[in-house]
Structure 1
């Protein structure tokens, strides 16, 4: 075992981790897997998925070096010290260094490294929402990652602007076959269709065009900060395939571009009634199809799809909000998001009410139980005055 070195600088500690990048990933991110030169996983908290990718090979200390990672959904990036920090929820670099030493089989503190990190905080603990890059692109290694974030947001806006309205497209057909009614899609301008939206299966693969449903992610002022792409099967919806449900036969038929954290895909009116935004109500959930399913029976209440459990927990709450309905998915991640968002809402003086599906999520309820059962389940969960005022009949 190497002897402890109390004067080891940060750069040397990071390089030692980088030389064992795959072992670091397998230990801290076991829900992921290796694909080519990258380790792919959902996020730094080891959520299954492919939004975060870690370089496993590459020399030097720049953006192409082993151990550098980027999260395309969160807009975060860093090295393996940052990854350990975020994964373990550590706040002090001394604790990060000790955890890294423990992994490497070293011992003791790292006072010199802590001093160096305090002098140069940006190069490593880069949890800024800046470098939001898509797989295959490079994040800025300098002290200001904002240009990458701005570039990603511009790309998202440009792609959304190139897409066509939803009506009469394969994307509209896809949503209808997921049980979403035509009335639920009325007046929505945050969903569009792109007939040839490029998909890259791995960071090194050649992009291939597929039809896609595009959803605009906006901030509280309505500005587009990103998009979600759902690639679709050009042959249509196969009712015998309960997994893809009309999505393209790709390993990752959904991907985000731009800045998502705190923002959402928004549906519904913003007109003011009785002095507040639709009486100060909002329904917030994870997926687009889940939230649109609720809109089938609650079309008058504004809704927000945060696109993941992690983003739902971090959703920014609008001014004037009085009551927040949190449409949870019936899984552990959904429970955690519900608890976190409930705590934040209560702290902001907002009443929080949880809406729970009978099956996995509300789109499962809509497709498998029908709109009447969905309506009946929601009616008993809403505040009585909201059920009377906003629930559609049927």
Structure 2
């Protein structure tokens, strides 16, 4: 195992800056070094990583020292310590960065933990752990270009710069930047993830910033009944399908908690938070969206929850935001909310920033 670690650390020296940008994303390059606060990715300048140099020996690329603590190590240590990962997971992430195949299996006599099955909740949690906050990333740019500039309470969103995409059939695996969304249960435990692969070249009017691949959106893990959550749900909330749809509503109703179920089928089956008393249901204007909307309203009312529909003028609320504008969307939503919820959750025009 130590030989494997040494080989991975040596290979990573050729990708020192990439490792730092992924795992020490709160730092910055200055000359030949990457500066950050510590190996846990705290902002600051105490820890410095050499970005250029030989593969080994004195002055090697990838070597780092924390001036505040005296700690030092290599890039594999950074991957392991920044993510609080066991060695096997850190080595797996190193191989992903290096585009290396997994190692040959070794006899384990029942002592080794089995790898997380592809698409399982455990695999989702591991991908979440190696993703980063969206601030300053292509994910934030993508959302801004969709008109979503009020991104408060979005800790459920992260970014991965090189997320695997496996085409249907037998096409080659690619790595593309991706917006990562955490799907959680009512206790806020991660049960799955949703990935939106992004166009690394930026926004275009055809794909609206998504990667030009057959299925730029995919989910993994356990989604049924769960949701991507924005804000802490209490007695009033809104639920709908897409992430962009619900963030569009948050542009004009920024204090209302919202749930994105990610698809029509999952919206119809969403589980109600324990204290929920009123639910606004955002409709996507297509046959599947209409069915999900009607089913969820019926379920809510059977559970004793006041259910109120929200209808877009166009296909969905992100279409309304982008094509009709924020003021038009705000005026339309104001007419659909109960007066007490307008006062509680909406910003008046003079307070909108």
Q: How many angstroms does 1:150 deviate by?
A: 9.8
Count of matched residue positions in the alignment of Structure 1 and Structure 2: 235
Tell me how far apart the structure 2 counterparts of residues 159 and 148 of structure 1 sit (CA, whole Å).
11
Q: Do structure 1's residue 263 and structure 2's residue 226 form an aligned pair?
A: yes
Q: Is the 8 A contact 2:227 2:260 kept in 1?
A: yes
Closer, same or farther: CA 149–337 of 1 in aligned 2, 3 Å: farther
Tell me how far apart the structure 2 counterparts of residues 161 and 381 of structure 1 sit (CA, whole Å).
39
Question: Which residue of the partner structure matches residue 315 of structure 1?
Answer: 270
Question: Which residue of the partner structure matches residue 254 of structure 1?
Answer: 217
Closer, same or farther: CA 352–262 of 1 in aligned 2, 3 Å: same
Q: Is the 8 A contact 2:283 2:293 kept in 1?
A: yes
Segments of 4+ in structure 1 off by > 2 A?
147-151, 203-206
- Give the root-mean-square deviation of aligned CA atoms: 1.5
Q: Is the 8 A contact 2:242 2:263 kept in 1?
A: yes
Q: Is the 8 A contact 2:160 2:177 kept in 1?
A: yes
Tell me how far apart the structure 1 counterparts of residues 193 and 318 of structure 2 sit (CA, whole Å).
21
Closer, same or farther: CA 264–149 of 1 in aligned 2, 3 Å: farther
Question: Which residue of the partner structure matches residue 208 of structure 1?
Answer: 174
Tell me how far apart the structure 2 counterparts of residues 205 and 213 of structure 1 sit (CA, whole Å).
22
Tell me how far apart the structure 2 counterparts of residues 151 and 306 of structure 1 sit (CA, whole Å).
18
Question: Which residue of the partner structure matches residue 133 of structure 2?
Answer: 165
Question: Which residue of the partner structure matches residue 35 of structure 2?
Answer: none
Q: How many angstroms does 1:149 deviate by?
A: 7.8
Question: Which residue of the partner structure matches residue 147 of structure 2?
Answer: 179
Closer, same or farther: CA 162–179 of 1 in aligned 2, 3 Å: same
Q: Is the 8 A contact 1:324 1:352 kept in 2?
A: yes
Question: Which residue of the partner structure matches residue 85 of structure 2?
Answer: none
In structure 2, runs of 5+ residues without a counterpart are 1-114
Q: Do structure 1's residue 233 and structure 2's residue 199 form an aligned pair?
A: yes
Match of 2:241 among 286, 293, 301: 286
TM-score by length of 2: 0.65
Question: Which residue of the partner structure matches residue 337 of structure 2?
Answer: 382
Tell me how far apart the structure 1 counterparts of residues 273 and 157 of structure 2 sit (CA, whole Å).
21
Question: Which residue of the partner structure matches residue 244 of structure 1?
Answer: 207
Once the two structures are superposed, residues 192-221 of structure 1 have per-residue CA deviations (whole angstroms, 9 ceiling, x without a partner) of: 000000101114222100000000000000
Question: Which residue of the partner structure matches residue 295 of structure 1?
Answer: 250
Tell me how far apart the structure 2 counterparts of residues 292 and 319 of structure 1 sit (CA, whole Å).
23
Q: How many angstroms does 1:391 deviate by?
A: 1.1
Instruction: Report the secondary structure of 1:392's partner residue.
Output: coil
Instruction: Report the secondary structure of 1:186's partner residue.
Output: coil
Question: Which residue of the partner structure matches residue 153 of structure 1?
Answer: 121
In structure 1, runs of 5+ residues without a counterpart are 1-146, 271-276
TM-score by length of 1: 0.58
Question: Which residue of the partner structure matches residue 99 of structure 1?
Answer: none
Question: Which residue of the partner structure matches residue 18 of structure 1?
Answer: none
Q: How many angstroms does 1:151 deviate by?
A: 7.0
Match of 1:198 among 143, 155, 164: 164
Tell me how far apart the structure 2 counterparts of residues 262 and 312 of structure 1 sit (CA, whole Å).
8
